[in-house]
């Protein structure tokens, strides 16, 4: 059996049984494809799609949104970061969840009522400008690509740890499975796949950690270290970094391209809110488990922090603390869950990106959609293969900062402020994109250890800057407020007539 021969030190007992792990990955990929194709048979025509949108229960819909949202960062990254940084890292799960609260408060119902299917659709109809549409499309594609890269890094890491195969196999496997299902049509707006993957992810995290907790408590194992002790001796994050991170996560969630598409499957604005409420419950339950992993690892396996791959902690903990055949089986479950995370988030992003690219560049044919899907998945694969894996939660945090500096201002001001103009929207998005993107590039060049905090976490200044430029330029160009504005604002905010399904 081939084992990892990389430069990274993998403690012997913490390896995962390769055969079991490969089986787990294969089963998840096949299940994803099969449920996808089965779902395709159910909803095949436009009529079916709309009918389905009326009959999808909020619970299914909420599970699907949760399934798409919980990415590699949530599944592997958060727990690894908690192991490294302790309570400072607890702001990540809190921020990911609270971001959905902001989405509920400011965006959910109006966006559903806008009838737009993608973010560029929304900005074009709100501001009556094709140029705004193009700029938004560009930003959305960049956000999507940036967000797919950490998923592929996670897959590379998982495959390397679990099977000993070279890391690129994991990235390639995710891209191939996603491309096949999306191109064949299997993942197209299929609620069932994503919903299934939420519950798979929850089970795959919950069962091993509960097993470990019972085992540790039953044996009366003495903790090796206190939770407050930092296993690597890294300095704690400052106040600025925590605040800036929260700004990024709270405002970044609003603008994620794959989130909006799912709201379309709600029949009306009110049910969009109810669905979001359930999503918040599902996320709250889910994030208890990465926190538990982090805490248990800090107390009973602090050595995992020193392996140089904190993101792999979730994968290694069952082998480290349980061991034997039960340890192998629990590890396989975690590997399966992590692949569900990579697949669901990547396919959600690829579908929404392909929609944007095919409509704006390739004329919107079905062939164009398929080509666009391949492009949307292969470009980030190139990035992922060229770059090394940073801390997953950290790199996803930067994507949230980028979204918060570009898409979030145009959505918030577009929904709530009558004075927004196309010129203001473009100026704001470009400002936010250049500032935040520049900080990300500067940070990547200077290396992770040397970046000053204000550059490593740009959201605290790039988001206000984007808002300010958007408001100032809009104020300066009031003649560009489109005549359709009152009508669109009315549509965004007034309730639909009560449907028979309501109450």
Partner 1 sequence: MTRVRVTAPRAPARTPVRGAGRRVESREAAQDSDVGQVFVRSLIRSQLRLALVVAGGFLLILAAFPLTLLVVPGLADTRIAGIPFGWLLLGAGIYPVIGLSAWLYVRTAARNEARYRDLAGEP
- Among 93-101, 424-432, 451-459, 466-474, which window interacts with partner 1 (CB under 8 A)? 93-101
Does position 482 interact with partner 1 (CB under 8 A)? The reply is yes
Number of neighbouring beta carbons within 10 Å of residue 9: 11
- Among 24-32, 310-318, 351-359, 383-391, which window interacts with partner 1 (CB under 8 A)? 351-359
Please state, in angstroms and rounded to a whole number, the distance separating the CA atoms of residues 212 and 25: 22
Our CB check for partner 1 shows the closer of 63 and 359 to be 359
Our CB check for partner 1 shows the closer of 145 and 293 to be 293
- Among 25-33, 84-92, 141-149, 381-389, which window interacts with partner 1 (CB under 8 A)? 84-92
Residues in 264-293 at the binding interface with partner 1, rule: CB under 8 A? 264, 270, 273-274, 276-277, 280-281, 284, 287-288, 291
Q: How far is the CB of 218 from partner 1 (least distance, A)?
A: 14
Q: How far is the CB of 44 from partner 1 (least distance, A)?
A: 6
Cα–Cα nearest to 313, from 96, 87, 75, 149: 75
Contacts of 105 (CB under 8 A, 6+ apart): none
Q: With CB under 8 A as the rule, give the number of residues binding partner 1.
A: 72
Q: How far is the CB of 442 from partner 1 (least distance, A)?
A: 29
Does position 106 interact with partner 1 (CB under 8 A)? The reply is yes
Q: Which long-range contacts (CB under 8 A, 24 or more apart) does 118-121 make?
A: 118/257, 118/260, 118/261, 118/352, 118/355, 118/356, 118/359, 119/255, 119/257, 119/260, 119/356, 119/407, 119/411, 120/356, 120/359, 120/360
Our CB check for partner 1 shows the closer of 387 and 484 to be 484
Please state, in angstroms and rounded to a whole number, the distance separating the CA atoms of residues 19 and 146: 32
- Which tokens belong to 327? 């340890």
Residues in 121-160 at the binding interface with partner 1, rule: CB under 8 A? 121, 124-125, 128-130
Angle, alpha carbons 149-155-161 (nearest 5°):
135
Does position 366 interact with partner 1 (CB under 8 A)? The reply is yes
Contacts of 246 (CB under 8 A, 6+ apart): 91, 94, 95, 98
Our CB check for partner 1 shows the closer of 2 and 503 to be 503
- Among 40-48, 320-328, 442-450, 471-479, which window interacts with partner 1 (CB under 8 A)? 40-48
Does position 50 interact with partner 1 (CB under 8 A)? The reply is yes
Number of neighbouring beta carbons within 10 Å of residue 199: 14
Please state, in angstroms and rounded to a whole number, the distance separating the CA atoms of residues 377 and 375: 5
Our CB check for partner 1 shows the closer of 6 and 281 to be 281
């Amino acid at each position: 059996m081939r084992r990892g021969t990389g430069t990274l030190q993998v403690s012997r007992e913490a390896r995962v049984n390769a055969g079991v792990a490969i089986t787990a990955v294969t089963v998840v990929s096949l299940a994803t494809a099969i449920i996808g194709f089965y779902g395709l048979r159910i909803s095949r025509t436009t009529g079916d799609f709309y009918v389905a949108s009326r009959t999808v229960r909020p619970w299914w819909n909420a599970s699907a949104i949760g399934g798409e949202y919980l990415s590699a960062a949530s599944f592997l990254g958060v727990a690894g970061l908690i192991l490294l940084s302790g309570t400072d890292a607890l702001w990540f799960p809190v921020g990911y969840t609270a971001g959905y609260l902001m989405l509920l408060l400011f965006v959910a119902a109006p966006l559903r009522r806008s009838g737009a299917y993608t973010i560029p659709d929304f900005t074009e109809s709100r501001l009556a400008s094709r140029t705004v549409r193009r700029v938004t499309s560009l930003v959305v594609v960049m956000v999507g690509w940036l967000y797919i890269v950490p998923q592929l890094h996670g897959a590379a890491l998982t495959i390397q740890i679990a099977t000993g195969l070279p890391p690129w196999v994991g990235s390639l496997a995710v891209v191939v499975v996603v491309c096949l299902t999306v191109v064949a049509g299997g993942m197209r707006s299929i609620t069932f796949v994503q919903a299934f993957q939420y519950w798979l992810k929850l089970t795959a995290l919950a069962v091993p950690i509960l097993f470990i907790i019972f085992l540790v408590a039953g044996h009366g194992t003495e903790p090796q270290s206190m939770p407050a002790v930092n296993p690597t001796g890294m300095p704690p994050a400052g106040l600025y970094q925590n605040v800036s991170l929260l700004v990024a996560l709270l405002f970044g969630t609003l603008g994620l391209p794959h989130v909006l598409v799912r709201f379309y499957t709600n029949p009306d604005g009110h049910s969009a809110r109810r669905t979001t409420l359930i999503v918040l419950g599902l996320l709250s339950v889910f994030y208890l488990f990465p926190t538990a992993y982090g805490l248990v690892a800090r107390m009973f396996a602090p050595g995992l922090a020193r392996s140089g791959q904190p993101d792999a902690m979730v994968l290694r903990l069952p082998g480290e603390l349980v061991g034997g055949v039960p340890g192998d089986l629990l590890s396989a479950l975690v590997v399966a869950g992590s692949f569900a995370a990579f697949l669901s988030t990547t396919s959600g992003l690829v579908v929404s990106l392909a929609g944007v690219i095919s409509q704006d560049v390739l004329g919107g044919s079905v062939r164009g959609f398929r080509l666009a899907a391949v492009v949307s998945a292969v470009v980030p694969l190139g990035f992922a293969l060229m770059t090394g894996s940073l801390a997953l939660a950290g790199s996803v945090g930067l994507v949230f900062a980028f979204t918060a500096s570009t898409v979030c201002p145009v959505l918030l001001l577009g929904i709530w402020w009558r004075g927004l103009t196309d010129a203001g929207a473009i100026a704001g998005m470009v400002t936010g994109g250049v500032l935040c993107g520049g900080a990300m590039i500067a940070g990547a060049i200077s290396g992770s250890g040397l970046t000053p905090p204000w550059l490593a976490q740009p959201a605290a200044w790039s988001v206000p800057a984007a808002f300010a430029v958007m408001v100032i330029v809009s104020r300066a160009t009031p003649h560009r407020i489109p005549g359709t504005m009152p009508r669109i604002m009315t549509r965004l905010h007034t309730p639909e007539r009560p449907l028979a399904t309501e109450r």
